[in-house]
Amino acid sequence: MRKFGTFLVIFVLALAGGVVGAVGYDQVKGDDGGKTVVQQAPLSAAPSNADGQAGGDGTALTPAEIYAKAAPGVVLIQAIVTETTQGVFGEQQQQGVSTGTGFVVSDDGYIVTNAHVVEGAKTATVQFGEDKQINAEIKGIDVNHDLAVLKIDPKAHALQPLKLGSTKGLKVGDPVAAIGNPYGLDRTLTTGVVSALARRIDGLNGFKINNVIQTDAAINKGNSGGPLIDAAGEVIGVNSQIQTENGGNVGIGFAIPVERVKSVIPTLEKGGTVQVAYLGVTAQQIDDKIASAIKISKGLLVASVDPKSGAAKAGLKAGDSGAYVQIGDGQVDLGGDVILSVDGKELDTPQQLQDYIGDKNVGDVVTLLIERGTKKMKLKVTLTNRPTAVTSTNDQQQSPDQQP
């Protein structure tokens, strides 16, 4: 159940940062009588970005330097959100305060945060440290990727935009830092490493968000929408969710990659709607059980086709043979088309299909090589815009795993 911007399930939207993480220190001998001077070590001893540079001159920044550089551009966001609930007397509306983090991305006053921080709100305020609250306009919300853009009057406060970096070349083990407002403790710094790459998490509309960064930097309630920063002091992601059993941080946090942020900012700044390419099929990986029944060892068995999708218009068909195979708690008809490849790329899992389509644009045409019975054929499919919420057909497997 979601309440005022928080998922109270396995994945908790980190609607508020964590305790200060440990940082490294070096002991350096001084020249004054052999005294030992303790100096903070860089977040990384080696460059970490795609160009082999860190900190702009090939050196990594210390956590203190990252904080000094980025914290002035990080804000506390508060929004009055309205939530409709179903009670014994019918629908009822409740209001509450949603609190999260955001960061400045331009001198024009644009601020990036998570969609779930401001979803359901008409207005919001931002606050730079101990300064007064500033009214912010909610320019656009992208529920597909849990991102939103706010705007404040650039004259209302001296702005220090954060630089958007890149995840190209990012590796597991690379150091990162997170700045946010956990439990109202403004501008808290935590540090950690990249724990994993290419994770998948649930979006607000039920579809998966792909290529998410996993980190062990402490993220808690209030960190949502805050920046995940690399050793060069550049933003590589937007902190969005944690995986937890008790609502608190257990060292598993997730951040939306900065490339996705860059791609949606222009649309959201204009108040537009972000479109996501959609094939419109539910497919099942062919395992040994299915392979022995249909005599096809590779590909994806089509379980259902959205009748309004480009796939349906191109003639892709789900099964109606009445011969089923049990998959988890459901059944899949064995008579459906088998997708062997898309644009010549062979597919082994539904996730590969989803990832490939996710990198396309609405209106793009893809070519599916399918096998129907004993015949192979090619279908050209024009990709449509993804629905606002998951239906029975969502370009994923029949019973999508809820874990990333």
Catalytically active residues are 116, 146, 224
Containing H/E element for 312? Answer: helix 310-314
Tokens at residue 28, please?
């350096």
Tokens at residue 51, please?
């160009």
Residue 261, SS3? helix
Quick one: CA dihedral 354, 360, 362, 364, positive or negative? Answer: negative
What count of Cα atoms within 13 Å lies in the side-chain half-sphere of residue 105? 26
Beta strands in 121-233 (DSSP E): 121-127, 133-142, 147-151, 175-180, 188-202, 208-215, 227-229
Beta strands in 33-73 (DSSP E): 36-40
Beta strands in 299-404 (DSSP E): 300-305, 324-327, 330-333, 338-342, 345-346, 365-372, 375-382, 384-385
Containing H/E element for 69? Answer: helix 63-70
What count of Cα atoms within 13 Å lies in the side-chain half-sphere of residue 53? 7
Residue 246 contacts by C-beta under 8 Å, 6 or more apart in sequence? Answer: none
